[in-house]
Amino acid sequence: MVSQITSRVEVKVETKFVQHSSDMHSGKYLFTYSIDIQNNNDFSIQLLSRHWKIQDSLSPVRFVNGEGVIGEQPILLPGESYQYQSYCDLNSSIGYMEGSYIFRKEDNQELIEVDIPRFEMALLSKLN
């Protein structure tokens, strides 16, 4: 698990290779990732958008931008956390993702950018 704190918002990420949904012979590798976002501020924030950089060791860098996460734009009250799961498909057994979220402070509408730490997606047997 990796974690990072930006503007008192902590983002934790854990990844897992999904062998039964992958086809290693044709170069299709599926990884799931679980994200936990904790608002450690004394004000509420709303997640508006996400920005991802996806690096696959055999493919060009991909960039993904979009509203919210998994179709939601959650509001996190002070001390509250939000969890979600998603996935990424790669053409190789090694890659990584990193990026940022844009949140809006509910009290004054100010936007804040929160870093998503770089996390590796790798078939463990390839790392040994």
| Cβ atoms 30, 46 nearer than 8 A | no
| Sequence-ordered list of residues with C-beta below 8 angstroms from that of 73, at least 6 positions apart, any chain | 46, 47, 48, 67
What gap in Å lies between CA 4 and CA 31, rounded to an integer? 21
Q: Which domains does the chain have, with CATH numbers?
A: 2-127 (2.60.40.1470)
Q: Which residues pair with 36 in a beta bridge?
A: 12, 83
pLDDT digits (tens, 9 = 90+) for 16-46: 999 999 998 999 999 999 999 999 999 999 9
Distance (Å, rounded) from C-alpha 116 to C-alpha 52?
Answer: 9
pLDDT of 65-74, one tens digit each? 999 999 999 9
The answer for residues whose C-beta is within 8 angstroms of residue 108's C-beta and 6 or more apart is none
What are the pLDDT digits (tens) for 49-60?
Answer: 999 999 999 899
Q: Which two tokens stand for residue 84?
A: 């979600």
How far, in Å, CA of 122 to CA of 90, rounded? Answer: 10
Q: 5: Cβ–Cβ under 8 A, 6 or more apart, which residues?
A: 11, 40
Q: Is 106 exposed, middle or buried (0-12, 13-18, 19+ CB in 10 A)?
A: middle
Q: How far is 82 from 39, CA to CA, in rounded Å?
A: 9
